Structure 1
Amino acid sequence: MMKMPDGGITMPERVQLARKTAVGAREHQSGQVTMDPDEGYTMGYDSNTEMKWKLVLLARPGVAWIESQVKFQWLDTDGKKGEHFFDFRVLMADGQRVAIMVKSEYRRNQPKVQDELAEIAARVPRSFADQVVVMTERDIDPVEYFNAEMMHEMRRPDPDADAGARRLLGEIVGAVRIQDLVDAIGLGPRGFRAVVRLLRSHELELTLNVRITHEAYVRRSMSK
């Protein structure tokens, strides 16, 4: 939901998926994630692990777009049709596409499941994806997830604070403590959130793989 200048609101558009997510299922967590700074659209998820991976992928540099529940179909040698829904297909900034299966670590370690996933991956042509990977809860870096969740929570723009933070970008030489940037912006917590948004847009980057805090050090992104 986004507030309009006239006081009205606009609801986010729900992305149409090839397979509906089981919202309200009792056996596992399901729900929706509202995306973009302007709350432009929502995308469903079918598990807690899937939700976490969605936030992590969205926060990673080099990720241009994410599709959810992408249908892949094939024809067996005996003429029978097969299909699989990939949890994500990620478009990278360099044009590469990665098809992702999200599973629990328990299921990934089952030989029968491993054989099934390997068989599906072997059928995927380059026209559908350049790479197929399996991701589980054990693959999630807790620091990366903490930061991705914070970036998502603080994604909404604050024009004055964002302008103040961006003005400082040209003055940054080497590493600087986030609290020092917040002090220079002069807007308290609003300044901290503005710095987080610069990390989200990859104009700044952390110098170490640490949680985003006032004491963490950042620098201008090497990839910008």
Structure 2
Amino acid sequence: MQNALEANVFVPPLNTTTTRRISKRSRTSVRSFLTIQVPADGGRARRVELESKGEADCLFLTLASGNVFDVREQAGPVTYQSWDGAWHSHTFDLLFTLIDGTKIAKAVKPFERVIATSFDRELALIARAAVPSFCDKVVLFTDRDYAPAAAKDARRLYYASLQSDPEADAVLAHLCTNLYGRVQIRALAAQAADVGGRLFGAILRAIYSGQLRHLSIGQVSPLSFVGRSAT
């Protein structure tokens, strides 16, 4: 079925599925309001509301895996019994449903805050209450789990995958037919003047789909080297 992007028709995004409204302003974190597309929505864009840059980074790093069927932000709450015997509720920052049906609930926190508050111990109790009725797995995601460059690339790779440009994709496929070893992206672009800068988007899509591998350190750029994925 042709989605809205392919039909070049504006369709308003679906509303957020968050179970808890977040404050629009904060002095300690960056709020993110953006749109994504996941298979669960049948090609429709959906608005998501995130409470921090860490949540946005976690979202795109997971989406870039290509294994996500659905995602819910501010998911829950889950009721659990804490160390002191008191009952509390916890709302997970993100709940991912993978293509194979596995549900992974992620708690996103700065590493220093996790250590200062012993949140990892508390999360173990939350996980005991959440699995398997709410999710199949609970994951703690901190700023120590990824490099900023990887998060930026994940966002670019994901959004490039939503764009349709058969001409640029075909040009890239032709250029890579006899590609062995590695090649610099700007060298590929020099051979594709007819599609101009659109080749870079095709390269991002090829990396996202696994057809090409990014072989350089840091963000994908014209100076990066890529190579064909092993078949």
Q: Output the TM-score relative to the length of structure 2.
A: 0.77
Report the CA distance shift for 1:25/1:12 in structure 2 as closer, same or farther (over 3 A): same
Paired AA for residue 107 in structure 1: R
In structure 1, the partner of 2:152 is: 146
Report the CA distance shift for 1:14/1:141 in structure 2 as closer, same or farther (over 3 A): same
Q: Distance in 2 between matches of 1:49 and 1:31?
A: 10
Secondary structure of the residue that 1:51 maps to in structure 2?
Answer: helix
Q: Which shifted more, 62-71 or 186-195?
A: 62-71
Q: List gaps (5 residues or longer) in structure 2.
A: none
Q: Distance in 1 between matches of 2:74 and 2:5?
A: 30
Q: Deviations over 1:15-55 (max 9, x none)?
A: 32222233344553212122239772221101121112212
Q: List gaps (5 residues or longer) in structure 1.
A: none
* Post-superposition offset of 1:71: 0.7
Q: Output the TM-score relative to the length of structure 1.
A: 0.79
In structure 1, the partner of 2:192 is: 185
Q: Distance in 1 between matches of 2:89 and 2:220?
A: 41
* Post-superposition offset of 1:192: 1.3
Paired AA for residue 202 in structure 1: G
In structure 2, the partner of 1:160 is: 167
Matched, 1:115 2:121: yes
What are the residue-to-residue correspondences of 1:1-224 with 2, within 5 Å? Answer: 9-36=10-37, 40-74=45-79, 82-152=88-158, 154-155=160-161, 156-186=163-193, 187-222=195-230
Secondary structure of the residue that 1:149 maps to in structure 2?
Answer: helix
Report the CA distance shift for 1:75/1:130 in structure 2 as closer, same or farther (over 3 A): closer
The answer to which structure, 1 or 2, has the higher relative contact order (CA under 8 A, 6+ apart) is: 2
* Post-superposition offset of 1:121: 1.8
* Post-superposition offset of 1:108: 0.4
Paired AA for residue 55 in structure 2: E
Percent identical across equivalent pairs? 25
Secondary structure of the residue that 2:18 maps to in structure 1?
Answer: coil
